[in-house]
Each structure stands twice: as C-alpha cells, then as structure tokens.
Amino acid sequence: GAVVSQHPSRVICKSGTSVKIECRSLDFQATTMFWYRQFPKQSLMLMATSNEGSKATYEQGVEKDKFLINHASLTLSTLTVTSAHPEDSSFYICSAYDWMGTEAFFGQGTRLTVV
C-alpha cells in the first residue's frame, strides 16, 4: 500500500515554544490530508481537514490559531502547534487520502510532550 511518513516520531519541547510536525505522502499525491489527535486510552479525534492549496477546515472546538495547518503541496502537510502548553501533549496522527478515492493512509504518529 501507499506510504505516509510522519516526522518527527517523538518531540519534547518547552512550554511557550512552537513545534512543527510534517506529514508526507511518499508515493502518491494526496489532495486531502487529515490530522487527528489521540489522548491516552481514548480514540482518535479529527482535528482538521487540509486540502492542497487552500485553508484547512477545523473541527468544532479546535483552535485554528493554536494548530496551524499548511498543505502547500500534493505530498506535504504540516501541523504547527504554536505556543505549546502541557495540555497540548498528545499523540498526533496524520492521514493522506489517495486521489483515486480508495482509502486513507496513516502516518506512524508523533508523540508530543510539552514540559
């Protein structure tokens, strides 16, 4: 199947700093990418949908100024957590949608710890 690479896999940052997470589709063009967040022992919650070349669509309750999403090319979407605080510590997962419309492919996830 298609491969989605997410980087970094783990990151620790200080409170108040910003962190960028990359999501790349390695062998296909992804017109749409999705960002999820997973709290411990809870399910994945959709944060936002990003379409190449346009503004991301955020789910209700997700602060768009806190979680900046840029989908500048058909193979790369980035999530920047701005002015991170300990409550932003979580597991973030991206998925990329195959343009042929068959399925979404997931990255390995990023464990963010804000200290």
Contacting other proteins within 47-76 (CB under 8 A): 49
The answer to whether the bond into 8 is cis (omega within 30° of 0) is yes
Residue closer to other proteins by CB (options 45, 74) is 45
- State how far the Cα of 66 lies from the Cα of 107, in Å rounded to an integer: 22
Among 41, 61, 86, 87, which residue interacts with other proteins (rule: CB under 8 A)? 41
The residues in 79-108 that bind other proteins, with binding defined as CB under 8 A, are 93, 95-97, 101-108
Binding other proteins by CB under 8 A: which of 16, 17, 18, 46? 46
Note whether 34 binds other proteins by CB under 8 A: yes
Identify any residues that bridge with 23 across adjacent strands, giving them in sequence order.
6, 77
Measure CA 10 to chain center: 13
Which residue in the set 32, 75, 77, 78 belongs to the binding site for other proteins (CB under 8 A)? 32
CA-CA-CA-CA dihedral for 62, 5, 19, 115, to nearest 10? 90
Q: Residue 85 is encoded by which pair of tokens?
A: 């605080």
Residues that bind other proteins (CB under 8 A): 1, 4, 6, 32-34, 36, 41-46, 49, 93, 95-97, 101-109
